[in-house]
Amino acid sequence: MKTFLCTGLGSHTSFSSLEAVRGSAIRRTRWAGILGVALSLAPLAAFSQDAKRGEQLYMMNCAACHQPTGTGIPAVYPPLAGSPMTAGGSKRAVAIVLNGLQGPITVNGAQYNGPMQPWKAILSDDKIASILTYVRQAWGNKGTPVTPEQVKAARAEYAQRTSPLSEADLTAIADEDIKP
């Protein structure tokens, strides 16, 4: 929410100087509208702006395989919706995204045996936090939000690791949230 509001206000400020030059009433109305929407969203803390950004990043980076509604594709790409690895303790979810995962693994009784690439060289702490905050709370998932600081701590922990996790690596990680 904070980020969105700042962006909104920032745009408004820069528009104000633009307006001084051009005096465009139409644009003013449009910005006022956007600002109004931003302010009216303020009480909707349950689905924060961070999760909204996470949704966009999810669509760009993950949805091709795990699908826009998190269902995955049977026997090929595991679901993130209803998956204990995604929505359980954040230690596991963050470790998977940073390091990647190499099958075979079982998710909700179904087997998958594909590779998922590591994302640590591609996505920043901030982006991984937003994506995981989104997927851990979307589609009925009830996971806790993930902060960039938590991803940073996990990244440091796995700094030396170059191979993807196996299912055995994963079960060796405590099923709990990363300490705030």
Site residues for ligand HEC per CB under 6 A = 61-62, 64-66, 77-80, 83, 85-86, 93, 96-97, 101-103, 105, 107, 112-114, 116, 119, 131, 135
Choice between 8 and 72, CB closer to ligand HEC: 72
Choice between 34 and 164, CB closer to ligand HEC: 164
| Residue 33 CB, nearest approach to ligand HEC (Å) | 33
Cα–Cα dist 25/14, whole Å: 15
Choice between 135 and 178, CB closer to ligand HEC: 135
**Token pair recorded at residue 57:** 């990043």
Q: HSE-up of 28 (CA within 13 Å, CB side)?
A: 10
Compute CA distances 24 → 17, 31, 112, 176, whole Å: 11, 11, 57, 54
Q: Quick count: other Cβ atoms within 10 Å of Cβ 70?
A: 22
| Residue 62 CB, nearest approach to ligand HEC (Å) | 3
| Residue 75 CB, nearest approach to ligand HEC (Å) | 10
Choice between 38 and 128, CB closer to ligand HEC: 128
| Residue 38 CB, nearest approach to ligand HEC (Å) | 27
Compute CA distances 138 → 16, 30, 46, 95, 163, whole Å: 37, 30, 11, 19, 29
